[in-house]
Amino acid sequence: MKVLALNSSPRGEGQSKTGMMLNHLVLGMRDAGAEVEVIDLRKKTIRNCIGCFTCWTKTPGLCIHKDDMSGELFPKFIESDLVVYGTPLYHFTVNATMKAFIERTLPILQPFFEESGEATKHPLRHEFPKAVVLSVAGFPEMSVFDQLSSWVRLIFGKSDTLVAEIYRPAAESMTASFFKDKAAQVMEATRKAGQEIVQSMKVSEETLAAVTQDFVRDKESFRKIGNLFWKTCISEGMIPKEFEEKGLIPRPDSVETFMMILSLGFNPVGAGDTSAVLQFNFSGDVQGACHFRIENGTIRATQGRAERPDVAIDTPFDLWMDILTGKADGQQMFMAQKYKVKGDLSLLMRMSQIFGK
């Protein structure tokens, strides 16, 4: 099987979530024996269709433009058995680069009208390659893909070529250190989807469920963590790419968001057989208390004070957030008596082990 795998994201390698997903899909396709060429459309010149219909009249099957679409991409497109349309979701549909590519496939059609069911369609000039649509989105709900899905079913449905739709919501979370394990499961499932497509021209429900799995079950928590991320970018004067490259974590701005972020950072392997209760008593701009119960490789965060904590930390909220986000050194601040610790000091020494990045 000859496959053309397209990525229309304007982002470079490493940052494009479409690229991450596409690379794994392609790995699976190659595992199953397909011959796959991957093309980053951002590196190609694809001029907009100007609607002249030269490709239907004066030079049937040939576009008037002399660019990468005419010279390279369209010939590869019509020679493929299957095309993967990889696109970021922009304004709930394909992005402009992918739309330009799709419009420029017009020469594959003939101008004439034919009846198809209750509707009218154009006859094909060449066989239409089978289609897999892969898209990623920032929002966490699967419903963000509804419009795209309905559109691709319409355009590829007419030629009966749509093989699979692979959609990944909350895609930006895939590179957050908190979600490393879940992102790895998504990548593995995407690779499996690639194998299944080549082997059986469909993707099983089980594989799709693994691709679309929730990283954070309740959407309210997702929004809160997302907002912390954006607030941190703004206060640090950084775009998301710089935030990721520096390996930063979102800075909590309340006891509640601190509880979320610390719980997400819990490292069960590092915690081992630790069984302990950690208490935080915050003062300053954000006041309040919370505690974390760690046992059997799990963590449970609760507002308020615990009855018998193993260790209790009394600290200004801002100072602890500086320590958490790497802006201040915990040990130095302790020596300078900027915060106080009661109870098992060794637990404090093991914080960076119990809580990964």
Ligand X SMILES: Cc1cc2nc3c(=O)[nH]c(=O)nc-3n(C[C@H](O)[C@H](O)[C@H](O)COP(=O)(O)O)c2cc1C
Name the segment binding ligand X (CB under 6 A); options: 61-69, 83-91, 289-297, 336-344: 83-91
Is position 88 an interface residue for ligand X (rule: CB under 6 A)?
A: yes
Task: Compute the least distance from the CB of residue 226 to ligand X, in Å.
Answer: 11
Name the segment binding ligand X (CB under 6 A); options: 86-94, 98-106, 217-225, 319-327: 86-94
Q: Tokens at residue 102, please?
A: 């799709």
Is position 38 an interface residue for ligand X (rule: CB under 6 A)?
A: no
Q: Of 31, 56, 81, 92, which lies in the binding site for ligand X, with binding defined by CB under 6 A?
A: 92
- From the CB of residue 137, how many other CB atoms can be counted at a distance below 10 Å? 21
Is position 83 an interface residue for ligand X (rule: CB under 6 A)?
A: no
Is position 17 an interface residue for ligand X (rule: CB under 6 A)?
A: yes
How many residues lie near ligand X (CB under 6 A)? 18
Q: Which is nearer to ligand X, 17 or 192 (CB)?
A: 17
Close Cβ partners of 238 (under 8 Å, ≥ 6 residues apart): 246, 248
Is position 9 an interface residue for ligand X (rule: CB under 6 A)?
A: yes
Gyration radius of the chain's alpha carbons? 26
Task: Compute the least distance from the CB of residue 219 to ligand X, in Å.
Answer: 12
CA angle 61, 62, 67 (to 5 degrees): 145
Q: Which is nearer to ligand X, 96 or 210 (CB)?
A: 96
Give the DSSP H/E element, type plus range, for residue 102: helix 96-103
CA neighbor of 270 nearest in space, from 204, 356, 331: 356
Is position 85 an interface residue for ligand X (rule: CB under 6 A)?
A: no
Is position 355 an interface residue for ligand X (rule: CB under 6 A)?
A: no
Name the segment binding ligand X (CB under 6 A); options: 89-97, 300-308, 339-347, 349-357: 89-97
Task: Compute the least distance from the CB of residue 240 to ligand X, in Å.
Answer: 8
Task: Compute the least distance from the CB of residue 87 to ligand X, in Å.
Answer: 8
Of residues 104 through 143, those in contact with ligand X by CB under 6 A are 136-139
Of residues 154 through 213, those in contact with ligand X by CB under 6 A are 171-172
On the CB side of 95, CA atoms within 13 Å amount to 20
Of residues 48 through 77, those in contact with ligand X by CB under 6 A are none
Q: Which is nearer to ligand X, 108 or 148 (CB)?
A: 148
Return the residue matching tokens 């130095």: 332
Task: Compute the least distance from the CB of residue 171 to ligand X, in Å.
Answer: 4
Q: Which is nearer to ligand X, 227 or 287 (CB)?
A: 227
Task: Compute the least distance from the CB of residue 299 to ligand X, in Å.
Answer: 29
Q: Which is nearer to ligand X, 175 or 185 (CB)?
A: 175
Find out whether 255 and 303 touch, Cβ atoms under 8 Å: yes
Instruction: Report the alpha-carbon distance of residue 193 to residue 52 in Å, rounded.
Output: 39
Task: Compute the least distance from the CB of residue 43 to ligand X, in Å.
Answer: 14
Q: Which is nearer to ligand X, 9 or 80 (CB)?
A: 9
Q: Which is nearer to ligand X, 89 or 260 (CB)?
A: 89
Q: Which is nearer to ligand X, 25 or 89 (CB)?
A: 89
Give contact residues for ligand X (rule: CB under 6 A): 9, 11, 16-19, 88-92, 136-139, 144, 171-172
